[in-house]
Every structure is written in structure tokens, then in C-alpha cells.
Amino acid sequence: MKALVQCFVYVGKIGDKYIAVLIDEKERVVSLSLPRGSEGVAVDEAKSLAPIELSFKFRSEMDPFIRRVGREVVEFIMSYLKGEEPKLTFKLNSDGLSSFTRKVLSVVSSIPRGFVTCYGCVAKVVGNQKASRAVGNALARNPWPIIIPCHRVVRGDLTLGGYRGGLELKRKLLRIEGVAVTPTGRVLPAHFLRTELLSELSQGSRKAF
């Protein structure tokens, strides 16, 4: 049974795009959308990425603290897209995630800026080499895109794989981080993080949640 969580919807604007952020009563971020062309699309996406059942409060009930968190999240993304390395100033609500998804997201969050790894590598680190497809599945529903850098996971043959926000955005994000992508959509081997190294890094890194 999914828990029912009271939630606020914050919508911010980055350039001409909208980004929706779902925030619970403990001021934790439940999920967020990628920058989208319309407010409605952004909100729908954020809702669909939340792994728990939600009930929504009206915007007018949104207290200043919730609004502050919303702004912090949008500023984080904005700063990120400018090529900066913002720090997390807010908490994530990971309730409702399966233990598998939790492990996957944790490993992915330990991939350093400027590197990529592959679905199969992540699968191996979380304990089942054959679960590469399930890893893709989990990443496709990453509740915190960009913040948890699922764009740093590509296919084992160094082609890009997929991205919820489209391959153009995946390219752009990697480029911002200094990862070269060829016109045909290949990542250079120099940026590739092998399983052993990824495993080491994920052990060393503090748990994301």
C-alpha cells in the first residue's frame, strides 16, 4: 500500500520553460520535472515521477517555507544549467522507492561530474549484472532528474541510451559537464567509468538519502 502524502506544487520558470516541484509538509522534495514548455506538462510530469500517492493542497495555503524550498530547487537547476556546481540546500523525500531503485539512485549519484557509466555497470554494482534493463527502468522514473544525475548513465556501447527529457537534453547536460558527445551520439571512452571504479566511488560517497 502506498502512503498518502500531502503535497504542495511549486512552479518556477527558467527562461521560457516551466519546472514543477512537489514538496511535502516536512519541506522535502518529493519529485520535480525537467524544464518543460508549459506549466501543465511540467506539473503532470512531476506528479507522474512521485513514487507515492499524493494529495494536494491549494497554492494559497503554501507557506513561505515551502515557497523557499521551491525557489531553492529551481535555483539549483538554473545554476546547474549555467555550468556551476550548486550544493543541495534541501532534503529529498525518498518514501515509496523500492530498495532496488534506492540502491540504483544512490550509485548513480556517486558518478562524478565529467564521467559516465553504463546501465550494466550500475546493475553490477547493485548486485545483479543481468539487471541492466531494470536499471534503465528505475532511472526512467528518477523523481529528481538532474539532481540525481541519471543523464550520466549511457549504454554499454557508448551510445546515449534514453532520456525522459529527450536525447538533446541529455547531450546538453553532458556537454555542460565537459563530456564530449559525437554528432552521431557517442560518448568518448575517456569519460567512461568502469564498474570497479564506480563500485569504489559508490562505497565512499555518503548516502544520498
Q: What are phi and psi of 177, to 5 degrees?
A: -90, 0
Judge whether 135 and 125 are in contact, CB under 8 Å.
no
> Restricting to residues 171-200, which ones interact with DNA according to CB under 7 A?
184
> Restricting to residues 62-101, which ones interact with DNA according to CB under 7 A?
98-101
Give the angle subtended at the CA of 122 by the CAs of 120 and 127, to the nearest 5°.
95
Say whether residue 153 binds DNA (CB under 7 A).
yes
Question: Which positions ≥6 away from 166 have C-beta within 8 Å?
Answer: none
Say whether residue 55 binds DNA (CB under 7 A).
no
Instruction: Please identify, among the stretches 18-26, 67-75, 82-90, 130-138, the one whose residues bind DNA according to the rule CB under 7 A.
Output: 130-138
Q: Minimal distance in Å, beta carbon 126 to DNA?
A: 8
Q: Of the candidates 32, 92, 107, 131, which one interacts with DNA according to CB under 7 A?
A: 131
Query: In this structure, are strands 117-118 and 153-154 parallel, antiparallel, or unpaired?
Result: parallel
* Cβ-count burial 71-80 (b if 16+ within 10 Å, e if not): ebbbebbbeb
Q: Minimal distance in Å, beta carbon 60 to DNA?
A: 31
Q: Of the candidates 8, 115, 144, 163, which one interacts with DNA according to CB under 7 A?
A: 163
Say whether residue 13 binds DNA (CB under 7 A).
no
Instruction: Choose between 66 and 151: whose C-beta lies nearer to DNA.
Output: 151
> What is the distance between the terminal CA atoms of the chain, rounded to a whole angstrom?
21
Residues labelled as active-site residues: 150
Q: Of the candidates 1, 3, 26, 157, which one interacts with DNA according to CB under 7 A?
A: 157
- Give, for 151, the enclosing helix (H) or strand (E): none
